[in-house]
Structure 1
């Protein structure tokens, strides 16, 4: 057993990936639906939704890499 005890890395990798996908979908759907139903959104809302999409992509890509490959190798 490693020095970190019973850390469940596969669970963290899956949850991180799905959280990233959820952030991406919320940002994309919010941007499309906001412009379709409410007209042009204010700049701060557009920026917020874009950042949510960007961080969703980064989270979905790096979470499995970090928790599925790097962290178990450091144990």
Structure 2
């Protein structure tokens, strides 16, 4: 018997995907354009940019496969 949690899977999938894409875009801009604009940046900004990109990719996978495919099938 399926569970009805009342979640709008389409809205959650789109919202999480856009959030993950935004993290990726900000990470790429910070890594690529940041040094050109601000000349010198602390080294932790490179780590932050890589972490933002990695988190964005992970969130996008969860959004698409979790909320877009798996959860609607289990209901």
TM-score tier, shorter chain, comes to 0.7 to 0.9
Offset of residue 3 of structure 1: 2.5
1:6 aligned partner: 6
Pair 1:57 & 2:57 matched: yes
Q: Distance in 1 between matches of 2:5 and 2:42?
A: 48
Pair 1:47 & 2:62 matched: no
Q: Under a length normalisation based on structure 1, what TM-score does the superposition of the two structures give?
A: 0.83
Q: Distance in 1 between matches of 2:47 and 2:14?
A: 27
Q: What secondary structure sits across from 2:4 in the alignment? A: coil
Structure 2 alignment gaps of length 5 or more: none
Q: Number of residues paired by the alignment?
A: 74
Q: Distance in 1 between matches of 2:26 and 2:48?
A: 11
After superposition, the CA RMSD in angstroms is 1.5
Q: Under a length normalisation based on structure 2, what TM-score does the superposition of the two structures give?
A: 0.83
Q: Distance in 2 between matches of 1:51 and 1:66?
A: 21
